[in-house]
Structure formats: structure tokens, C-alpha cells
Homo-oligomer: A and B are copies of this chain.
Amino acid sequence: METVSENKCFGGVQGVYTHASKATGCDMTFGLFLPEEARDGPVPVLWYLSGLTCTHENAMVKAGAQGWAAEQGIALVFPDTSPRGEGVADDDAYDLGQGAGFYVNATQAPWAPHFNMWDYVAEELPALLGGKFPLDMERQAITGHSMGGHGALTLAMGLPGRFRSASAFSPICHPTSSDWGRKQMSAYLGEDEGLWRRHDATLMMREAGFDGPLLIDIGTDDQFYDLLKPEALADAMALRRQTSQMRLQPGYDHSYFFVSSFMEDHVAFHAEALYG
């Protein structure tokens, strides 16, 4: 693992690190914010998964999360959204290939074997983080935006016991019934839609739900609202009696201006679960 940069930030350190990944077969870069308290021992961890076209960097500089995390003594992890590099397949579309890993393990050419973002975020990166940094991996929470909100919800439900709480900003809620989902699942996982079910928050909510609290914020002026399908997930949560809040925020859109407006609430929400 190599250090790309470390900046003092809100009393802690915002680092960027790169490492050779087995899961994706390429170098991967991630951001990690450690609050001041990490000097004295392991701190709880909040994962932030990013959306289409993002790298590890976007949320790190635009989501305004570090100040709130510092206040709560929580670390933040910002993974990249796909494998990258010359040997890695890509597509001209912004919503497929590099920058659009969708947090699945691809089985189809040309995406296999590099596009294993599920294994990367669920297994390889946590093992690396737990070994190298003062993080309490018994206290993890997860959030994300858009495609990363989809990732946060599906990882939270797909790994029972791993995360104490989960939240999402403008998540893709029901990808198997959306143009933001069907195209990518078909490309990455092939045509057997049975395999897609483990990567659809609405279907997973219908099946088993999440063993912790959920917080979801979506702006009513989100320009991609129809692609997100929040109504399907809201329905599934109500049927499940899932401990959850879904908030439709008047006037907000899909941007980081929306994410940053409600980041304080999300960090406080996770802090309650992580310290509770």
C-alpha cells in the first residue's frame, strides 16, 4: 500500500492510498478520513460509496462529511467505484464500465475478471483497512449516493451482521426494473435475472430486510427520480415493517449540494447506531 497524500482536516487526517487489489486485478485508490481520536485507539467506521462517474475523490471533497465525522469521532472510507487502468475494459457510455462498477462481481466478458466491486468492498478492502489502520471493524456503518446508495443498501442487506446502520442519498432503489440497472446487470451478470436479485434493494427488502436502522433521503426535484424508483423500496419497507426513515426533501436535486445539505443528519444517525 502506498500513501498518495495526507492532509490535516478537522483535527484529523484525510488520506488517499493506493494498493494492488487481488479482487479487481489492478491498482485501486481509496480515501480514508481518520478523526483525531484515532491516535488513541480504534474508531468506528462509516463507508461512503459513490455514484456513477465518481472516483474515491468526489465525495471526499464535495460531500462535507469530514467535519461531522470529526465531531462524532468516526472514520470515513471512500472507495473508488470500479477497477481502472489500461488493461481494464471500458465503455463509451458514462453508466457502464469504468466509474460504473455497480458493486457487483461481473461474470460476463469483457467485464470479468476485473469488475469484482462486491468482493473488493465487502472483503478485500475491509481486511486491508482493519490490518493497517486504527479502525474498530466491529463497529461499521455504510452510506452512499445514487449508484453508491444502491451499493450501500445491497451490501447492508447482503452481509447480515456487518453494518450496524445504513443510509443512502438518492439511491437507485430497484435496479432490476430501471434503465439504471437492467443494462448494467445484463452486461455484468448476464441474462439470468435470478442472479440480479442479490443486487436489488427493493427485492432484498422484500425477502429479508436489514437488521438495523435505515435512513434514506431523496430530493423531489431529483432529475433522475424516475430511474431511482423510491416508491418500490418505500412499499417494500412498509410491508417489511423495516425500522427506517425515507425522507422526500422538497426542491432538492441529485447533486452533491443535496448530499452536503443533509450529511450532518446522516452522520448523526450512524453515530447513534455505532455508539449505541
Q: Is A244 an interface residue when CB atoms closer than 8 A count as contact?
A: no
Which of these binds chain B: A3-11, A120-128, A196-204?
A3-11
Q: Is the interface of A mostly helix, strand, loop or mixed?
A: mixed
Which of these binds chain B: A147-155, A167-175, A254-262?
A254-262
Measured CB to CB, the closest approach of chain B to A142, in angstroms, equals 23
Report how far A253 CA is from B9 CA in the complex, Å. Answer: 9
Within 8 A of B (CB), among A220-276: 221, 251-253, 255-258, 260-261, 264
Q: In the complex the two chains form, is A8's CB within 8 Å of B64's CB? A: no
Report how far A10 CA is from B66 CA in the complex, Å. Answer: 17
Q: For A7, A219, A255, which residue has the most chain B Cβ atoms within 10 angstroms?
A: A7
Report how far A10 CA is from B251 CA in the complex, Å. Answer: 11
Number of copies: 2
Which residues of B sit under 8 angstroms from A264, Cβ to Cβ? 67
Which residues of B sit under 8 angstroms from A8, Cβ to Cβ? 219, 221, 251-253, 257-258, 261
Q: For A221, A257, A258, A264, which residue has the most chain B Cβ atoms within 10 angstroms?
A: A257
Which residues of B sit under 8 angstroms from A66, Cβ to Cβ? 257, 260
Which residues of B sit under 8 angstroms from A9, Cβ to Cβ? 257-258, 260-261
Residue of B nearest to A256 (CB): B61
Q: Is A62 an interface residue when CB atoms closer than 8 A count as contact?
A: yes
Which residues of B sit under 8 angstroms from A258, Cβ to Cβ? 7-9
Q: Is A14 an interface residue when CB atoms closer than 8 A count as contact?
A: yes
Report how far A8 CA is from B220 CA in the complex, Å. Answer: 11
Within 8 A of B (CB), among A10-38: 10-11, 14
Report how far A252 CA is from B11 CA in the complex, Å. Answer: 9
Measured CB to CB, the closest approach of chain B to A26, in angstroms, equals 27
Contact of A253 with B7 at beta-carbon distance under 8 Å, contacts A64-B64, A260-B67 already known: yes
Within 8 A of B (CB), among A31-90: 61-62, 64, 66-67
Which residues of B sit under 8 angstroms from A64, Cβ to Cβ? 64, 67, 260
Within 8 A of B (CB), among A148-198: none
Q: For A9, A67, A255, which residue has the most chain B Cβ atoms within 10 angstroms?
A: A9
Report how far A261 CA is from B67 CA in the complex, Å. Answer: 7
Q: In the complex the two chains form, is B255's CB within 8 Å of A7's CB? A: yes
Residue of B nearest to A252 (CB): B8
List 9 A-B residue pairs with CB atoms under 8 Å apart, sorted by A's residue number: A8-B221, A8-B251, A9-B258, A9-B260, A10-B261, A61-B61, A61-B62, A62-B62, A67-B260
Contacts A9-B261, A64-B64, A67-B261 aside, 9 further interface pairs with beta carbons under 8 A come to: A7-B253, A7-B255, A8-B221, A8-B251, A9-B257, A9-B258, A62-B62, A64-B67, A67-B264
